[in-house]
Chains A and B, each alone.
Chain A
Amino acid sequence: MDDATFQLIDRAVNDQPQSTVTVLSSLLAVEDAIGYIPTEAVEAVAVRMDATVNDVWAVATFYPNFRFDPPTDLRVEVCWGPSCHVMGATAVIAAAQEALGLSDEGDTLDGKATLRYNTCLGACAHAPVMAINHHLAGRITPDSARSRIASALATAPAH
């Protein structure tokens, strides 16, 4: 791990603005700062919270929003909750998989993009909903999903 990343972790864990600091709040601060939870962060949180590394892993693995390897540049989330399901999310998920060359959730082979199924993105009134790098888009069709992903892939920085 490079020094700059380590600094970011250190600052995220040790300079939290709110008054209640916990294992979970520390992990969320790291996720916010660098987008994933490396082993070094688990250790930093354990030191800060006077907890064991096992305690910290237990919390980190419970919440599926945490990932443990560096994030890809393009994060595609498609909602599969009942509102979106009723409005055709299944076909949107299939289109997103096809556009990314995936057959399930996860990272693409070239490490450029990630597909996640989200249980509710909160814009149910505009179902089906997807999010590209946390930016919501509603009333998605399989075609609009494909074209949104294609244009996002085209503008994502090359590896």
Chain B
Amino acid sequence: MTAPTESPFDAILAEARRRWEDLTAGDRPWIRVGTGLAGEAAGGFEVVAAVKATLEQQQVTANVSEVGTLGLCFAEPLLDVQTPNGPRVFYGQVTPELAERIVREHVAGGNPLPENAIGYLGEPAQAPVGITNLQDHPMMALQQRIALRNAGNIDPSDLYQYIANGGYSALSKALTEMSPEDTLGEVRTSGLRGRGGAAFPAGIKWGFLAGNPDPNKYILCNCEEGDPGAFNDRGILESDPATVVEGITIAGYACNANRGYIFIRYGHNQPIDRTRAVIRQAYELGLLGQNILGTDFSFDVEVALTGDSYVSGEETALMEAIEGKRSMPRYRPPFPAQVGVFGKPSNINNVKTLAYVPEIVARGGQWFAGIGTPPDPDNRINGSSGTAILCLSGDITYTGLIEVPLGMTLRQVLFDMAGGVPNGKSMKLLQTGGPLGGVLSASDANLDLVLDFDVFRAAGAILGSGGIIVADEDTCVVDLTRNLIAFCQYESCGKCFPCRMGMSHLLEVLERISNLEGTEEDLALMRNIGENMQAGSLCGHGQLGFNPVSSALRYFGHEFDAHIREKRHTGDCPDQVFSPRLTRR
């Protein structure tokens, strides 16, 4: 037992700080290697093996950590070396051979390799000769990292590192200084809107659950991230799962709930393993379970897995999957806050939404509300507070995971930060918000759009989950639309026949048009199918399922005309395409 004057959290914090001090200012260097999904795809684990082998061979002791992603995915595998009390020196696109040289010359020899370094982070006074500040890199300079504050900086499986960097001070503050109502009030004040796609105010949603007197209530965190082109949820869970675990615990406190599930797709092992690791440590430290930090509040969290199913990201389908069934959407009402998972009142938030919560509670809702775009009622703009967590992929110079204040323009993100389209090509279109978000032409007007949920909606696109796929002038819009609809067809759960059959029908028509066999009537036919899907489907998959076609027709109707009337392709359409044929059996 701790002395009465000291809260249980103070003891945990002191231990966390002692360990952090030892890592960063002890007697040995610290090597961190990016091993998120992008890091793995680029060979991060081979780099870790080379680092360990060389350390042993050189008989040098150093701490080696597999971290998540700093977000500079284009430069993965990213390796950084921090010598005691020194700056961190980052090396990009590290091969096992380069890793060996870095260990021999920089770690053992004390001489950084400026020709291979992409930057340093730390005090400018300590800047190594010939290496620039990584903070000046265009992909870093304009970022404001709240949910991603620890990504790439801490070992995601070590809860003490999270705590040493400010983690759990928010939960401690909420439990000791704030009532559940105060905590909910801060989230309301922050204006935080749900980051899963619908952008519904989180504070209002929490209020529905908080108002339900049932003694058993659930908070569900959705990381069923099936959107191709979006990897921010997985990026957060593989880089800093503790911020989500703390966030869901605070949500539980604010809503008087007693149980949480973090829902991840089977097979995404880094997010699953790392989330489970910090949950286990949180139980050991009394930050989860009975009487958290010695208070009356008790809360349990576990990871629940789903099989491959895009639709299980829909909130009621997700509840079906947690119950172990076929993940098909339910009728509403009753809404989840009345009848949710296992028949109990439930609240569902996306990973990103919950990842903001600790900082909102620690710094106050006003602070968060001050970031982003203000409301503009005349134009039906409700205001979007906080940041956008964007995944940039496709034909873009710097791909990666970034966090920027809402209100920034697409042009700033895509050109000032991400360096535009490589190889001297021009930008043709953006595919935003997952396959259902459709396409947005890269016109001057669209590039001047500010990142704001309602501004995007008005332009016919969805900011949604934050995935932005860039396509250059070579891309054929008809071919890309066919790819998007093939995805939607494959992922239709099959419950509502307008979606199940409509997607298959749309795909047939698009294949016909792609093969230059389309007719004038096909455009009207697709619109008819789309209207039926929208009117007759239970969830967004069918309701928004025509978006890829309607947005492509809106911005690139001439490409469809070229295929249908002039029988010619409008880009490098492959003559053969591959996609799974079946819908759900």
Contacts and interface: CB of A to CB of B under 8 A. Distances in A.
Interface in A16-40: 18-20, 22-28, 31
Nearest to A97: B578
Nearest to A22: B324
A18 B584 CA distance: 28
B548 to A, nearest CB: 9
Contacts of A91: 574
A130 B577 CA distance: 17
Contacts of A117: 578-580
Nearest to A136: B41
A136 B40 contact: yes
Interface string B290-327: 00000000001011111111100000000001111111
A134 B42 CA distance: 14
Interface string B214-241: 0000000000011111110010000000
A24 B43 CA distance: 33
Interface residues of B, number: 71
B490 interface: yes
B306 A83 contact: no
A81 B435 CA distance: 9
Interface stretch (B102-110, B180-188, B359-367, B389-397): B389-397
B238 to A, nearest CB: 9
Contacts of A62: 307, 309, 326-327, 493, 584-585
A63 B41 contact: no
Nearest to A23: B324
A129 B228 CA distance: 12
Q: Which of A26, A62, A135 has its CB near the most chain B CB atoms (within 10 A)?
A: A62
Contact of B579 (A19, A80, A97, A122): A80
Contact of A83 (B76, B228, B309): B228
Contacts of B229: 81-83, 120, 124
B228 A137 contact: no
Contacts of B471: 86
A49 B323 CA distance: 12
Interface of B: 37-38, 40-43, 73-74, 76, 225-231, 234, 261, 266-269, 300, 302-310, 321-327, 391-395, 399-401, 431, 435, 467, 469-471, 475, 480, 483-484, 486-487, 490-491, 493, 574, 576-580, 582, 584-585
Interface of A: 18-20, 22-28, 31, 49, 58-59, 61-66, 79-87, 90-91, 93-94, 97, 104-105, 117, 119-127, 129, 134-139
